[in-house]
Structure formats: C-alpha cells, structure tokens
Structure 1
Amino acid sequence: MTVRPLVVVFDVNETLSDLGPMGGRFTEVGAPPELSRVWFAGVLRDGFALTAVGACEPFAMLAADSLRTVLHGVPLNRDVDAAVDHVMGGFAELRVHPDVPDGIRALRAAGHRLVTLTNGAVQVADRLLTGAGVRDEFERLLSVDDAGVWKPAEGAYAYAARTCGVEPAEMLLVAVHPWDIDGARRAGLQAAWVNRTGTPYPSCFTAPTMTVSGLDDLARRIRT
C-alpha cells in the first residue's frame, strides 16, 4: 500500500452479512434452496444493467421483481406474493460473518474512519450492524440510493469520497466481490478483497491492493 487509508469503506451484502440463511427462506416457501444464489446474482445483474443505461432503482424493488421471476413455475406452499414477502423478510434476520465484529473493532481502535457503501438500503446495514454490536464503530452508513448510481460505477465511489471529505486514494474499499474491487480500483481507491473461501481472483478484473481471509486479517495487515 502506498497510502495508509484514512477511511475504510465496507460493502455490506455478503462482505459483512452472511447470506447463507436466505437459502432456508426459499426452502420454507417450497422452493429449492439453491435458487437463493440464482436470485441474488439476478438482482445484481439487473442493477448493473440499469446502471449501464443511466438508470437507478432501489435494491428492494429489483429483489422483489427478480424473486417473482425466479419463483415462477415453482410449486410453492403459498401464493407468490406471500412467498416474496417471506424471502425478503430474511434480510432483517441476517447476521454478520464471525470475523466481522472483532475486525471492525480492531480497525476502529487503530484510528481508521469506518463507513459502509452498499447497493442496498441503509436501514438493512443499520439493522445488521446494530445486531452485531458494532454500529457505533461506523461514522456513516452510505448507500448508492443517495449516489444515484450503483456500484461498480465510478460515481458511487466518488460519492463516498466526497461525502467523507477525502481523496479516493485515501479510501480502502473492502469487499468479497471482484466486480466491486475492480470498480473501486478503477475509481482510484485502494481495495482489499476478502476471500474467505480460497476462490481464485478473476484475471479479467483489476487486481486488489491486497487479499485478506477476513476482517480480522485485514485489521492485522493495515495496523501500521
């Protein structure tokens, strides 16, 4: 790293939150649990597609629409609207990954300013971090809803830098998604890829500034 980051910016969905339990929500409405991953990937696809043509819609709206598509033709145990409501309700019960609380506290104790930047809603991030007991460690919870453009578009990261009053190079984006890492790097940020599973990083994307196994590992890596 060439510059010690002043602000550490966290993606929320999958980076901080464990989306694994969402598969159980699909099971509970009579759908295969593996549809959870198909659905979430479709939400991202639709958000990126709208961003590419200059449009921006809330995550929750796209998620509900995508659910109706994914669940079409599946023999559910309730009507589709009730099934959509049940699956969407799972976001309110998500928990953070085990490495998150200690990592967050260590980063804040080391003097870093912490913020989130999510393609989802601020309310979801607030509930998640409050439940983990680390909400007060964060200076701001930011969403692309206020940026007017989804990540990985440059405008989303520029909005975060502008809001925090720093240069992009003084920010470190932390995410599990290579597309987010690539977007941040192209926007001038440093970026830490959280690789909890040992998955290879796609060569088509700009490489991260560093790769870490979790937020506890990140805190050790940027302590000085």
Structure 2
Amino acid sequence: MSFDPDRVTTVTFDSYSTLVDVDAVEAALAAHPGVDAPEPISRTWRERSMQYTLVGNHTGTYEPFYEVNRDALEYALEAHGVEATEDEREEILSAYHELDVFDDVRGSIERLRRGGYDCYVLSNGNPEMLASMVEHAEIDDLLADTISADELETFKPDPDLYRHAAGRTGTPIEEIAHVSALWFDVQGASHAGMQGVWLDRNGTPWEPFGDEPELVCAGLEEVADRLGC
C-alpha cells in the first residue's frame, strides 16, 4: 500500500531511536570503570530490552519499561563480564532520562503543527520516562499528549496499543500516520490500521519478514515534506 497524505490528520511518533538516540547510553557505559567496549554492551542491552517486551506480551508478564530496561542492563553487563553494583547500574540506567535528541526533531514537529497536524508520542516508555524525554527534547509545547504502553500494560507491536492510541487521540485509526525507526513498530501500526512510516536514519535494509511500510523517510524533515508542511 502506498502512502496517502490526504488521509492523515494526526501524526504519532515513537520515542526511542526516533526522537532520541538510544546509542547515547554508550557514554554512560563508557564512564563505568569496568567497561572497555561500550558499543557491544549497549547493543545487547537494547536487544534484550526489546526481547523482554515481546516475550512479556505473550506470557502475560508486564513490568514498566524502565524496569524492563533495568533487567536488560543487568543481563548485558553480566553477559559481557562487567561487574557493577546496584547503584552503579542505576547511574547508567538514568541516562535514559537525558538521551541525545536528534537535530531534526523540534523543527520538523513545528512544521507539522503549523500544517495543522496533531502530534503525539506513542511509546513503550512508561509515563515518567516520557515526561523526562519530552522535557529534555523541549517539545512539550508542540505535543498534544504522550501515550504510554503502561496505560494498557502491553507493549508494541500489540495491535490493541495502536487502537488505544487512536481512541486517545480521538482520531479514526486510518487517519493516523505513525512514525518509527523500529521495523516491528511500523508493522504493528500498519497491521492495526495506521499508515506506517519507517524512519530509516542509517540507510539500513528493510526487514524481508512481513509487510513493507507505507512510507520510508531518511529523517523527520522528509516526513514533514511528504505531508506538505
């Protein structure tokens, strides 16, 4: 299915990897004296975090996303042979409250707002995480609201979460474009009835599994372009 901008009245954004850079946690890892190579630990941390949410959806095991991240960090450090106290792990984990914001975020959302689009964040992050992210990104004045997986206690790509988001925005689901850097999030949004927009910041190949996105953009400015803003 091709992207139809004329159907879009509301834009939802994923948070992590879409608006803020999760790779920024490497600096927090590098500051720990036992870490020589932060990149593989960061990758394991992120992969385990995503795996825990997917398994949790199917086993009925729910923890707020910050707790999921805490568990995943503990595993990643141990898997890479890094010893850390609970306080040291908490210090690393706190980096999620001040992740680097991508340069195109505020300007692009401003364009969308001027173009008449309501903008929301739809994220696995629990409300406290989203509040700190929005404050750090300085986009609170541009967003209609944030929508957290914690409201349903289920994670992406559960279609109920996207339907819940449509209800929260008061928008027919087919009028929502969901923008995400995560392939499974894009597929989940499309499966639920939204138009899935994949934000491919790094020029990576699309997954051969499942449906293709309605739209692929290299950055948020291109999303605003395609919506005529």
Instruction: Give the structure-1-normalised TM-score.
Output: 0.93
Alignment partner, residue 14 of structure 1: 17
2:42 equivalent to 1:36: yes
Q: What secondary structure sits across from 2:38 in the alignment?
A: coil
Q: What secondary structure sits across from 2:193 in the alignment?
A: coil
Query: Residue 82 of structure 1: CA displacement?
Result: 2.0
Query: Residue 137 of structure 1: CA displacement?
Result: 0.6
Q: Which runs of 5 or more structure 2 residues have no equivalent in the other structure?
A: none
d(CA) in 2 for partners of 1:54 and 1:171?
Answer: 28
Work out whether residues 15 and 176 of structure 1, in 8 Å CA contact, stay in contact via their aligned partners in 2.
yes
Work out whether residues 181 and 193 of structure 1, in 8 Å CA contact, stay in contact via their aligned partners in 2.
yes
Query: Residue 207 of structure 1: CA displacement?
Result: 1.0
2:30 equivalent to 1:27: yes
Work out whether residues 191 and 208 of structure 1, in 8 Å CA contact, stay in contact via their aligned partners in 2.
yes
1:88-126 residue CA offsets vs partner (Å, 9 max, x unmatched): 111122121111111111111100000111101223223
Greater alpha carbon shift after TM alignment, 110-119 vs 57-66: 57-66
Alignment partner, residue 72 of structure 2: 66
Of 172, 179, 184, 2:177 maps to 172
Of 83, 102, 109, 1:104 maps to 109
1:61-101 residue CA offsets vs partner (Å, 9 max, x unmatched): 1111122222126244xx42122111111112212111111
Query: Residue 203 of structure 1: CA displacement?
Result: 1.7
> Aligned partner of 1:64: which letter?
R
Work out whether residues 52 and 68 of structure 2, in 8 Å CA contact, stay in contact via their aligned partners in 1.
yes
Alignment partner, residue 228 of structure 2: 223
Q: Count matched residues.
A: 222
Point out 4+ residue stretches in structure 1 off by more than 6 angstroms. Answer: none
Work out whether residues 120 and 143 of structure 2, in 8 Å CA contact, stay in contact via their aligned partners in 1.
yes
Work out whether residues 68 and 80 of structure 1, in 8 Å CA contact, stay in contact via their aligned partners in 2.
no
d(CA) in 2 for partners of 1:202 and 1:75?
Answer: 32
> Aligned partner of 1:128: which letter?
M
Alignment partner, residue 118 of structure 1: 123
Q: What secondary structure sits across from 1:24 in the alignment?
A: helix
1:44-63 equivalent positions in 2, closer than 5 A: 44-63=50-69
d(CA) in 2 for partners of 1:136 and 1:66?
Answer: 32
> Aligned partner of 2:54: which letter?
F
Work out whether residues 12 and 116 of structure 1, in 8 Å CA contact, stay in contact via their aligned partners in 2.
yes
Work out whether residues 181 and 206 of structure 1, in 8 Å CA contact, stay in contact via their aligned partners in 2.
no
2:199 equivalent to 1:194: yes
Query: Residue 147 of structure 1: CA displacement?
Result: 2.0
1:34-79 residue CA offsets vs partner (Å, 9 max, x unmatched): 2011101101101110102233221111111122222126244xx4
Query: Residue 27 of structure 1: CA displacement?
Result: 1.5
d(CA) in 2 for partners of 1:150 and 1:101?
Answer: 26
Instruction: Give the structure-2-normalised TM-score.
Output: 0.92
Greater alpha carbon shift after TM alignment, 65-74 vs 29-38: 65-74
Greater alpha carbon shift after TM alignment, 122-131 vs 10-19: 122-131
d(CA) in 1 for partners of 2:181 and 2:57?
Answer: 20
> Aligned partner of 2:60: which letter?
G
